Amino acid sequence: MELSQCLPFWGSLSKEQQCLLEQSTVLNHVSKGQIIHNGTEDCVGILVLQTGQLRGYSLSSEGREVTLYRLFERDVCVLSAYCMLNSLQFDITVAAEKDSVFWRIPPNIYKSVMEQSAPMANYTTELIASRLSDVMWLLDQILYKHLDSRIAGFLVSEARLNGENTLNLTHEEIAHHLGSAREVVTRMLKYFANEGMVELGRGKVVLKDVDELERIGNESLR
Amino acid sequence: MELSQCLPFWGSLSKEQQCLLEQSTVLNHVSKGQIIHNGTEDCVGILVLQTGQLRGYSLSSEGREVTLYRLFERDVCVLSAYCMLNSLQFDITVAAEKDSVFWRIPPNIYKSVMEQSAPMANYTTELIASRLSDVMWLLDQILYKHLDSRIAGFLVSEARLNGENTLNLTHEEIAHHLGSAREVVTRMLKYFANEGMVELGRGKVVLKDVDELERIGNESLR
């Protein structure tokens, strides 16, 4: 796969602009668990994922986490280049959920080309709008759903993502995805286990009744 | 005030592009309380506020609300032109909080010029990034603050916004701003009243101890 295949505006750039981007782009290999972008400590740039899986999350000063979005093959991460946009006023962390390979375009280079190119700027607008939609979805979940519904929905979507009903996740990891506390997640998982919907093991959750979990996952508050 | 003074990219447009925008833009007058944009029922376009105050909020199917952002003089609302961007996949409502006058640019016209103009597209990227920052701030509040802290912070910021310590707001309106339930807000306000921080009247809240409310408003969870 080439960088140019992942960037739909590529064909509209001049040869000079294409060269500038290609020459400054670096291919990175990271291992599962590695932190790629850490709040405002760095401004690593635009990430274009070749293989693997990345997770963008918010981290509170007290160590609580909530998953904001996930990135898969060919996805582009723009929030790790926050210094490129004056109006991005918040901290996120981006980490590898699987061993991953990605291109990194330095923020100043990306910005200098984007300022010249309407197609590239329009594409970037869509990227930011897409992240806004992710966060709006999350806000909706938090405001209008009970935690049982959010956990059930999360388990079903993780099983689909991984293509199997055994999830290698600790209760703490689930809490981090959902912005909740471990004790609260443990209590709810035990309830699901008592009802026969899941089986719990050390560092894993096995889904036994996906239909029922899905039904609960679709419930709204009240 | 002219439309061109509110749009920083104006000078970079061609005469034809400026004419196209000017000829298709409509000046609207709305009264306090009027709904301007209602979810996906319509796609009213880009709003440029001349005078007044607008509120963008999310509305659940059960009628619960939460304030996402506010717009003041010279602010530009792009989420009411959601059909212009494929990646904006959520519903919001925009209503007038005061009698307001705004220009409305049709979404198809704005989009057609933005596709040609890098400065306009870059400006629009910043607008969307700014709304994303608003929603991230809100998410942070909801995840990491107790409701007493959120209500106290809201009362102080409303008092600053209006320049007086008497707020003409019902408990239900406060709940709608914060995405909470009226009963919960009433309970908390009564607690604040017992502690001498506020006085409650019919449809109003009078702030008596702004310093203490501000202190509570700055507290984080745990």
pLDDT, tens digit, 9 for 90 and up, residues B185-211? 998 899 899 889 999 999 999 999 999
Which residues, given as ranges, of chain A have pLDDT below 70?
A: 221-222
To probe the interface with B, which of A59, A136, A177 has the most B CB atoms within 10 Å?
A136
Q: How far is A164 from chain B (nearest CA, A)?
A: 29
Residues of A within 8 A of B125 (CB-CB) are 85, 121, 124-125, 128
Residue in chain B closest to A85 (alpha carbons) equals: B126
Residues of A within 8 A of B221 (CB-CB) are 60, 62, 64
Q: How far is A88 from chain B (nearest CA, A)?
A: 5
Choose the closest CB to B135 out of A122, A139, A144: A139
A139 and chain B in contact, CB less than 8 A: yes
Q: Average of pLDDT values for B74-82?
A: 94
To probe the interface with A, which of B125, B127, B149, B177 has the most A CB atoms within 10 Å?
B125
pLDDT at A221: 58
pLDDT tens digits, one per residue of A16-69: 999 999 999 999 999 999 999 998 778 999 999 999 999 999 987 777 889 999
Q: How many A/B residue pairs have CB atoms within 8 Å?
A: 138
pLDDT at B221: 58
- As a whole number of angstroms, the distance between CA A28 and CA A50 comes to 10
Q: Which residue has the tokens 């960088």?
A: A3
Beta carbons of A131 and A94 less than 8 angstroms apart? no
The reply to whether residue A60 touches residue B133, judged by beta carbons under 8 angstroms, is no
User: What's the 3-state SS for A50-79?
Assistant: EECCEEEEEECCCCCEEEEEEECCCCEECH
Element (H, E) at B162: helix B147-162
Q: Average of pLDDT values for B152-162?
A: 94
Label residue B27 by pLDDT band (50, 70, 90). Answer: very high
Of the ranges A128-132, A143-147, B20-24, B116-120, which one carries the lowest mean pLDDT score? A143-147
The reply to whether residue B129 touches residue A62, judged by beta carbons under 8 angstroms, is no
The reply to whether residue B85 touches residue A129, judged by beta carbons under 8 angstroms, is yes
pLDDT at A222: 42
Q: How far is A127 from chain B (nearest CA, A)?
A: 7
- As a whole number of angstroms, the distance between CA A126 and CA A151 comes to 29
Rounded to the nearest angstrom, the gap between the alpha carbon of residue B148 and the centroid of all alpha carbons in its chain is 22
Label residue B62 by pLDDT band (50, 70, 90). Answer: confident
- As a whole number of angstroms, the distance between CA B214 and CA B195 comes to 14
Residue B63, helix vs strand vs coil: coil
B122 and chain A in contact, CB less than 8 A: yes
Beta carbons of A16 and A24 less than 8 angstroms apart? no
Residues of A within 8 A of B144 (CB-CB) are 60, 62, 64
| B199 phi and psi angles, rounded to 5 deg | -120, 135
Copy the structure tokens of residue A104.
Answer: 């990194």
Beta carbons of A200 and A179 less than 8 angstroms apart? no
The most distant pair of C-alpha atoms in chain A lies apart, rounded to whole Å, by 63
Label residue B222 by pLDDT band (50, 70, 90). Answer: very low
E strand residue ranges, A120-192: 166-167
Residues of A within 8 A of B129 (CB-CB) are 85-88, 128
Residues of B within 8 A of A122 (CB-CB) are 114-115, 121
Residues of A within 8 A of B115 (CB-CB) are 118-119, 122
